[in-house]
Structure 1
């Protein structure tokens, strides 16, 4: 069934330097704009983000620093972006939680203001979540073909959880049945992670911040240019292993 629209809508996807919608940068924009008469226009940009693209991220979307070094910065195409994204509704997969907040933040950096209050958002992921919920009750119905009685009673819930797990192992050929292998299936090991939470990672052999405004910067660099940020980590609610690494870089007694 075709969409019924009252004003143009742009479905778009962003590839970025990471998953932080407030601090990472755009490296690719893909758009399909649908007009009220049903006509469609596709547009794609490769963007120089102005910061390094982490190697681990390049492995996911295939875009490297070398590929975007001669591409325009976002501000260079501000007018094109205005023409595409203003006075339209927006759509995309997980757009409300990621792509739109990141786009708004990036627009702000180049002097464009996207008024979200005037925009209708279409998100197929949200429809998927509504129509096929991932609650324990829904999982018990799907995998065990039973209704979960007394949901949110701790014992009823954990009995259902174990039943769902056993049914999943039977249902999916690639889900293992040993605890070690299930753990690795659910939480794949990051060979470059320094700590269990992934706050620090090794990139090209250098211990690097993996969150927030300084994501992608090495501890050594920050020790020289922004030591107060590292001191904030030491005083903050971070794990002892992270604080120890930061103390060592700052020359404190570990």
Structure 2
């Protein structure tokens, strides 16, 4: 039994939008045996562009039942059925969210007609519901209304079932499984589903969570090892870079996550290929992922895309012997290296304000309060008087050093030695004079006594705020098979 479902909503994000209409057709594998359709009062205004698309107005849903009033009927009519939809994750995610808000865990096996159509009717210029139905002769009345789209999806699903029956009925070896010419004449009523159909539907259910263009064979080939992975679109372009200690499990999690928005659905539907590079070390995977995102700027990676850090926090000493933390613009002509590089001066200023407050530093000495006299914090007894020479440089500088230690690494120069891509290999990550220099792979027999030996063995990569944060956070937890070699 199959419940073919379509919904209309106030927008594309299940976390914040609501259902405005739902239609369900129950199909027994041969014909429609039950159906349900209703407008739904979303409890909020329908945006004008949604009304323009669907024709559903606020007046139309004002007297319609709210979701909790139709929830029981939805549960009953879909009980024991496979949940079928065109781009099933979108409809299913919305229903799970609506039921979740009621404290009910709605769970059904799912089947996506986009994925099944790509498998059984390959070579179509588009697999959107409207264009696919037009190209293969399925009538679609009431486009972007739940009943019209659900009925068209039901006709499409029925045709897909008959395609599997057609290939079962024809002589062995005759490849006409993708022919639609005799579809409607096949699979007479009451006939037991063929093994071919059962297998096709079972495979479609099993792979319903996968993007339509990704084969289960590709997913099965993913390594259960540490590294970075790339999602490619049909043109071969890298659209996302990720990392994991188990690439296979991480990508399975990607595909199992409920759709949060139309953009996330668009993302999953655009994935056509997956490639990967093993790194052995999780730290190397984290650093390499950060580098790749900055270098490639994939369309669906948002974090860590910044590759230029034009501002930073600098350490200086004034004429009175006080250590001064100051924010400013990074200048390639200036040999002064910031303690930490940041995206812009506004972020640098905010970062410094945080350190001043946490370590009880002087606003005036840090350039955050312009005045000829004492800083504002001194006037409200939060500054201990470094700005007017009341606090000795030694005690003030000790707190500055604490602030610097919270930014810098525990040691100035060190190497993290970890597992490689094989048992005969090791990874090395070099930090020298407080700056990340890069990583590399060496033979397990590699030995080095000087930092120069490690420097010669790495590939250089850029140091920035993100790499500093990755290394600091990583070093807080010791991992099996890794050690840190410190240079004085």
Higher helix fraction (1 or 2) = 1
TM-score of the aligned structures, taking structure 1 as reference length: 0.46
TM-score of the aligned structures, taking structure 2 as reference length: 0.25
Rg larger for: 2
* More RCO (CA 8 Å, sep 6+): 1
